[in-house]
Structures are given as C-alpha cells and as structure tokens.
Amino acid sequence: MAEVSQNSGNEKTGKVRSKKMSTKIDMTPMVDLAFLLLTFFILTTSFNKPTIMELVMPDNTGTTQPVNKDNVLNLVLGENNKLFWFEGLGPGVNETDYSKDGVRKILLSHRQNKNLMVLIKPQDNSKYENIVDVLDEMEITAIQRYAIMEYSTDDKAIVNAAIVNR
Amino acid sequence: MGKIKVHRATPSLDMTPMVDLAFLLVTFFMLTTTFADTPVVVVDIPKSESEIILPDRDRMIITVAKDGRVFFDMDNQFNRMEMLKNMGEKYGVTFTEQELRAFAVMNEFGVPIRSLPQLLDLHPDERKTVVQNGIPSDSVNNELADWVVYARLTNPSKLRIAVKGDRETNYKVVKQVIETLINRKILRFNLITGLEAEAPKPKS
C-alpha cells in the first residue's frame, strides 16, 4: 500500500486513528505570572499625583494704586510657624495660627467688607509651607483680593512694638 | 443496600472569571503606571486643598530644596537639547553631542552651567552620588533667570511653570525664585502641593 503508516500500533487493526489531544492546556504558570505582575503594578502605582495652586503676581513695573487702610488686613508670617495679623496700620497686632479656627475665622469675620484687601507679608525666615497655607485659606474663604508683599521696615516696627508691649 | 454513597465534589473549580479579572487589573495598572524617576533631591511638598492636577507635559519645574538649593527641570527631550545649546552659547560653554543627549534624558539638575559638562560626562549611576549645589539664583549671578528664558523660548505658548518647594524651605529663597520669575515677566505660575488629608493636622 502507498499509505505511510504513522504508528506501529495501528498496523494490527489497519485503522488510522487520529490521536485526540486534550484541548485543555495548563494555564497555571500564566496565571502565576499575571498575578505577579498585578502585585507589582499595584505596589508601584502611586495615585496621589501632586496638585498645583495657581498664583498670579502683579507686575512690578506697573502703576500702583493706593488702598484705603481701613480695608486692609495684614497677615505677617513669622518664624517658627507664627502668624500675626493687624488691620490697617495697627496698632493692635494679634497672634494666631494656621489652623481652621485661627486664620480662617479671622478671614471669615473680615469678609463682610466688600473692599477687603489682604496683604500677605512673609518674613524671610518664615517657612514656605506657611505661605502655601495662607494662600490655600484665601482659596477656601473665597477672598479675591490679596497680594504677597514685601515685609517692610514699617511692618516690622508695628509688629515689634506690639510684641514689646505684651 | 445500606451502602452510603459518598458524593464526591470535584476539587477543581472554574477560575476563569478570576483570571479574567486579574488580567484586566494587570492591563489597567500597566497602562496607568508611570515610573517615577529617582529624584535628585527629596522634597516634602506642602499640602493644600487645590484639586488641579499637575499636567504631565509642557511643564517646567523649579525645585527649591529644604536647604535652599535650586534645581531645574523641563520635559520634552528636543526642547531640552535646544535650550542647552542656547544656554551654552550665551555662557560660552560648548557641549558635545553626547553631552546634549545625556542632558536630554536626565532629570532635574542643580549645578552652575560651567560645571554642567562635568556632570553630564558622568555615568547616570555615578551622577546620583554627586552632590549638586544648586543653580545660582541670586541677584549677582542669576543663571536660573536665563534657564527660564531659554526654556520658554523652546515652548512659548504651552509651557507651564511650577515652583516646587519643600515645606521647611525658608521663604527668602522662594522669594528669590518668585522675583526672578516676575522680573522675566512671568506673572502667572503654579505652586506644587499635595492633596490635603481630610482632617488638617493642628499646627503648633
């Protein structure tokens, strides 16, 4: 016969029996790998992406507009997370903190004044976190008019006088 | 009679749905993961309640470390190479093709431009061990201002400028950086913060 016998076992019966392979394959190694990858990616993913705060500064060459001192609230950021505030040109400097019950209450109580202008005056040795906190409070209390200003010698005199008097 | 047939449940169980789910999750995490490059300087960013997410592209980040060192970073390799060429021309420092390429793929850096070729010639692994002293940003020698200018030239319309400061950084250094930006007519920029936890912790 021209037939090529494939299997010696079939010779006896003469029947060509196609060998049935199981259609199931062992997927265990693949699943193992999948879970390994899953664990790896879960552990390496960081969901807390950094956020940003918008900050718009005034042009230092532009014209300046005088502000009525009755509408001004000064926040002086001092060293060691200290925060002083006074209205207009003082006197009457008070100390507060950056918490919800501190600066936020003061800002909210001043907010009735529609022309309120908050001047943020960070001292050189205040921390960056302080200024971010204050800017954040501006956002929370929805105060539109505020500016970061230089802590001038006049401010220094007002604050120092108040500290000495205490 | 009287024989109790023990019903044997097959011990195999159909795991197909679980495997499906596992692969779905693998795919999800693979696609969402971005590998964080090892930072040159570790910065503990302050918290805020802002919910605007820092974009992944077209951004320039000025990092101010705890000790006041200033670092600079920008995305897009082509823009980086162009920026470095222009900076080199201005300061009379020539960079080789290899150095340009090394600069394109590296992260933030914090050295004066004259020391930059030295830093770029190092192997990336060696680079991590070098202490970088920060980019000069004071009024006497303000290289940061030029980096900002040339960075903006490469991507004038879209580049977002962000300042990333450490919580403990003295405001004095941050003020220098902000003044540098204002002097270059950049009045609108961003401060990088982390998302505030639910209950703000009391501060002393």
User: Distance of CA B186 to CAs A41, A152, B178, B181, B189, Å?
Assistant: 39, 24, 9, 5, 7
Mean per-residue pLDDT for A33-56? 82
Per the model's pLDDT, the better-predicted residue between B10 and B104 turns out to be B104
Interface test with B, best of A61, A121, A129, A140 (most B CBs within 10 A): A129
Cα–Cα dist B50/B162, whole Å: 14
Of the pLDDT bands very low, low, confident and very high (cuts 50, 70, 90), residue A150 is: confident
Q: Which of B60, B51, B197, B192 is nearest to A128 (CA)?
A: B192
Q: Which of A82, A132, A120, A72 is nearest to A102 (CA)?
A: A82
pLDDT value at B202 more than 50: no
Q: Which of B60, B180, B54 is nearest to A54 (CA)?
A: B54
Counted across chains A and B, CB pairs separated by less than 8 A come out at 149
A 10 A CB-CB count for A69 gives 12
pLDDT value at A1 more than 60: no
Does B166 touch chain A if contact means CB atoms closer than 8 Å? yes
DSSP codes joined into one string, A43-67: HH------EEEEEEPPPTTS-----
Helix ranges (H only) for chain A are 28-44, 103-110, 128-140, 153-165
pLDDT of A62: 67
- Tens-place pLDDT, residues B176-194: 888 888 888 888 888 988 8
Cα–Cα dist A41/A38, whole Å: 5
SS3 B70: strand
- Tens-place pLDDT, residues B85-129: 888 888 888 888 888 888 888 888 888 888 888 888 888 888 888
Distance from CA of A1 to the nearest CA of B (A): 47
pLDDT value at A11 more than 80: no
Question: What value, to the nearest 5°, has the Cα angle with vertex A35 and ends A34 and A39?
Answer: 120
**Nearest chain B residue (CA) to A136:** B48
pLDDT of A165: 65
Mean per-residue pLDDT for A132-141? 88
Q: Is A56–B188 a contact, with Cβ atoms under 8 angstroms apart?
A: yes
What does the buried/exposed string (b/e) look like for A105-115 if buried means 16 or more CB atoms within 10 Å of the residue's CB? ebbeebeeeee
pLDDT of A71: 83
pLDDT of A6: 52
Does B169 touch chain A if contact means CB atoms closer than 8 Å? yes
pLDDT of B127: 83
Distance from CA of A29 to the nearest CA of B (A): 12
**Nearest chain B residue (CA) to A39:** B26
Mean per-residue pLDDT for B152-176? 88
Distance from CA of B109 to the nearest CA of A (A): 20
From B25, B168, B194, residue closest to A51, measured CB to CB: B194
- Tens-place pLDDT, residues B41-99: 888 888 888 888 888 888 889 999 988 899 998 888 888 888 898 888 888 888 888 88
Tokens 């080789």 appear where?
Answer: B96
Amino acid at B50: S
Q: What percent of chain A has pLDDT over 90?
A: 0
From B22, B49, B169, residue closest to A38, measured CB to CB: B22
From B174, B182, B194, residue closest to A57, measured CB to CB: B182
A 10 A CB-CB count for A140 gives 14
Distance from CA of A61 to the nearest CA of B (A): 9
Does B35 touch chain A if contact means CB atoms closer than 8 Å? yes
From A38, A124, A133, residue closest to B26, measured CB to CB: A38
pTM: 0.74
Among the ranges given (A36-40, A85-89, B120-124, B150-154), the one the predictor scored with the smallest mean pLDDT: A85-89
Amino acid at A117: M
Mean per-residue pLDDT for B120-144? 85
Cα–Cα dist B24/B18, whole Å: 10
Q: Is A51–B200 a contact, with Cβ atoms under 8 angstroms apart?
A: no
From B29, B46, B181, residue closest to A129, measured CB to CB: B46
